[in-house]
Amino acid sequence: MKTAMRIGTRLVLTQIVLMTVVVAAFVIPLYTLTERMMLERSQNVQAQLVGQSINMIGGFDDALKLAARQFHKVLLGEMDGNFSLDATQKIAVAGTPAPVLRLGTQPMNGRNDEVDRFSAKSGNVATLFVRDGDDFIRIATSVLKEDGSRALGSKLDRSNPAYARLIAGEDYLGRAELFGRDYITHYSPIRDVSGKLVGASFVGLNATEGIAGLLIRLGKVKIGESGHIAIIDVNKDSKAYGTYVLHPKLNGKPSSQRVDVDGNAYLQHAIEAVEGRTIVRERDDTGVKAHMLAYATYKPWGWLIVSDELKTEMERENRVMLQWIVGGCVLLVLVLALALWWFTRVLVARPVSRLVRAMGAIRDSRDLTLRVDIHRRDEVGEVADAMNSLLESFQQALNRTSGHAVDLDHAARELAQKAATAAECSGAQQTSAQDMSTHAAELLGGMQEITRVTQEASAAARASSDAAHSGSQSLVAAVDEVNRISTTLGAATDSLRTLESSATQITNIVNVIHDIADQTNLLALNAAIEAARAGEMGRGFAVVADEVRKLAERTSVSTQEIGHMIGQMQNATQMAVQAMRESVAKAAEGAAITADARQAIDSIVEDSRQALEVVEAINRQMELQRRIVEGMAGEVENVARLAETSNNAAQTSAETAQHMAGLADALRDEVSVFRT
């Protein structure tokens, strides 16, 4: 038996292949899309990280500003009274003459008690400024310069962002670097009782350690394996403009050292752009690497926050994520394949196997009374119902076929009997045709003998005529000759009577042949009808029966033609007999008047001439009859051959009928192996 893959297995494999193709068609674009999304997500994460760093710095800045504002209130609490400006009097402070700023009546120029007391309490620095025209001069301070001396007598740099706010009479809160230290400062204008701007107060929170701690925290931020946060000073008024405030390796160094593969300082664009993201390719000791950058500026401090991550590290992390996704898809395919295998086995394979086993049992037992016992409301149930209907149809068809086989067997046997009868009739027809051929040959011989006799009579008539002319001396010889002619004509008359009798016998034989041909035609028609009833099995016999019928029709036509020719021959023979009788009468009359022969010699001569003409006419007629008889003999031979052919066809029909009977038996045997 040929082994084939089961339909359930094929369904599962097909579904697995389709799912694999679908998953592959989904995963491949997903991989590309996810890679782009991961890149965008990483850049967004970098941007968020930069934003969070700015928020951290801003929060730190806001907290220090709030503290500076509070400490400024503390400073003002140390100075009870109203301020006033005496521009007419100047007191030198650290060698710099400055207008006198009084608190109440106390000049504050060079008086550091209040600011020192504040610094001692808060740990922060404070300064008092006096307005001198458009400048602000430090007249009291706890701020120390690099050499440890107080920063007195110096003017507030007009480039300081606090200057513009103070000259406008407004407070200023912000980061400032004083003598190498970072401060969060609070500048506030000082007004006299009339509201005139006479000076300024300053409180500075030392943010150096706080900013250093902030930078340490930001420096610990890692993006991937080697990604980091970098800070660049972008304050154009700062001496450190363009240098790294925070970097794992380049602290205090200019950012212009970082160039891409084309030699361009790529961070310069970031410094100028203030905010954005980009990917640059930079060459280092290990080769060319792609860096993903996200950056934004914290304007209050003039810091550019840069997030720097290697693209390869991001892709590695994304690749791991994608591998998990692909692995999950593969696992999903396997789980679905297992589920499909189980469902296919339960819903398809088992019902189909039951159907196959049921059909195999019917095939092996050949019992068409069995039925497929499967009742389902699906395609398998429909197939089972269809098979049961088909088995029912087969059972009914085989029952009908069995009955038809019996009928065919009976018809074949009856046809065989009729074919045997036809063969016997054809044999008899052949024998009759042979006898008729023999009689035709005898008739032809008689006709030849008659022809010879008439030729002799013609010669005798000529001799008689010659004798009549020779005179009376030949009268006796003429009388003898006339008597001999009379005798010969009598014999010819007898021969013609014999010919007429033979023609009558031939007519009877031809009628017998015609009757046999008609009977054969009827038998052939009956055989054709029986063959038509036999259907496809009798088609060959129908052809034979049709040929026999045609042969019988041709035989009938030929016998009619032979009968017609024999009738003509009988008419001619009767005419010849009549002529012979007249000749005999003439001869008798000549013998009677022998005595008057001399006187009637002329009459004898005339009669001899007429007799000669009659004999010659008889001779010609006999020649014609001889040809007719020869043609009839040929037709009789054809009839004999046709009879032989008809006999052979009848025998073949009998053999075909016997073969049909054998086929009917075989069909009945084949049908009998099925139980119906």
pLDDT of 371 above 90? no
**Burial class, 317, CB count within 10 angstroms (exposed 0-12 / middle 13-18 / buried 19+):** middle
pLDDT of 148: 84
- Burial class of 26 by CB neighbour count within 10 A (0 to 12, 13 to 18, 19+): exposed
Q: Are strands 83-93 and 96-103 parallel, antiparallel or unpaired?
A: antiparallel
With beta carbons less than 8 A apart as the criterion, state whether 153 and 137 touch.
Answer: yes
675, pLDDT greater than 50:
yes
- Place 177 in a pLDDT band, splitting at 50, 70 and 90: confident
Determine the pLDDT at residue 601: 62
Position 632, amino acid: M
For 170-186, b/e burial (b = at least 16 CB within 10 A) is eebbbbbebeebbbbbb
| Angle 510-515-516 from CA coordinates, rounded to 5° | 95
The mean pLDDT value for 476-504 works out to 69
Q: Helix (H, G, I), strand (E, B), or coil: what is residue 368? A: coil
Percent of the chain with pLDDT over 70: 80
Question: Any idea which of 16-30, 296-310, 548-562, 584-598 has the lowest mean pLDDT?
Answer: 584-598
- pLDDT of the residue at 517: 66
| Maximum Cα–Cα distance across the chain | 232
Tell which CATH architecture fits domain 79-211.
Answer: 2-Layer Sandwich (3.30)
Closest CA to 210 of 65, 70, 72, 64: 64
Position 522: which residue type?
Answer: L
Check residue 135 and give its pLDDT.
94
**Averaged pLDDT, 93-105:** 91
The 10 Å Cβ neighbour count of residue 159 is 8
What average pLDDT does range 315-326 have in this prediction? Answer: 73
Distances (CA, A) of 126 to 154, 180, 467: 14, 16, 205
The whole-number average pLDDT for the span 228-245 is 86
pLDDT at 84: 93
132-174 pLDDT tens trace: 999 999 999 999 888 888 989 989 988 888 999 999 999 999 9
Cβ within 8 Å of residue 377, ≥6 positions away: none
Residue ranges of E strands in 94-180: 96-103, 106-107, 125-132, 135-141, 172-178
SS3 (DSSP) at 377: coil
With 70 as the cut, is the pLDDT of residue 477 above it?
Answer: no
Under 8 Å between Cβ of 647 and 426:
yes
Residue 624 pLDDT exceeds 90? no
Instruction: Compute the distance between CA of residue 296 and CA of residue 53 in angstroms, rounded to an integer.
Output: 10
What per-residue confidence (pLDDT) applies to 387? Answer: 75
CB within 8 A of 525, min separation 6: which ones? 545, 549
Nearest to 407 by CA among 660, 650, 651: 660
C-beta atoms surrounding 655 within 10 Å: 15
pLDDT in tens, 425-448: 767 766 766 776 676 677 667 667
| pLDDT averaged over every residue in the chain | 78
Q: Backbone dihedral region of 179: left (phi > 0), alpha (psi from -120 to 50 degrees) or beta?
A: left
Name residue 83's beta-bridge partners. Answer: 103
SS3 251: coil
pLDDT of residue 1: 46
Q: How many CB atoms lie within 10 A of CB 400?
A: 11
SS (H, E, C) 172-240: EEEEEEECCEEEEEEEEEEECCCCCEEEEEEEEEECHHHHHHHHHHHHCCEECCCEEEEEEECCCCCCC
CA-based nearest residue to 310, from 279, 340, 336, 286: 279
Higher pLDDT, 375 or 240: 240
Q: What torsion, rounded to 10 degrees, do the Cα atoms 144, 146, 149, 152 define?
A: -60
Q: Within 10 Å of residue 555's Cβ, how many Cβ atoms?
A: 25
Tell which wins on pLDDT, 591 or 526. Answer: 526
Residue 355 has pLDDT above 70, yes or no: yes
pLDDT average, residue stretch 470-477: 61
Q: Angle, to 10 degrees, between the axis of helix 7-78 and the axis of helix 311-344?
A: 140
Query: What is the pLDDT averaged over residues 583-588?
Result: 69
| 170/664: higher pLDDT | 170
Residue 317 has pLDDT above 80, yes or no: no
pTM of the model: 0.46
- What pLDDT, on the 0 to 100 scale, is given for residue 289? 84
pLDDT band at 403 (very low <50, low <70, confident <90, very high): confident
Q: Where are the domains of the chain?
A: 79-211, 397-672
Q: Which among 73, 66, 77, 60 has a CA at the least distance from the CA of 173?
A: 66
Kind of pairing between the strands at 83-93 and 227-233: unpaired
Segment 367-372 long-range contacts (CB within 8 Å, at least 24 positions apart): 367/674, 367/675, 368/394, 368/395, 368/398, 368/674, 368/675, 368/676, 369/395, 369/675, 369/676
pLDDT at 203: 95
444-477 burial, b at 16+ Cβ within 10 Å, e below that, comes to bebbebbbebbbebbebbbbbbebbeeeeebbee
pLDDT value of position 8: 64
Q: Which residues pair with 129 in a beta bridge?
A: 138, 200
- The confidence score (pLDDT) of residue 165 equals 93
Tell me the C-alpha distance between 622 and 222, whole Å: 147
DSSP H stretches of helix in 470-537: 475-534
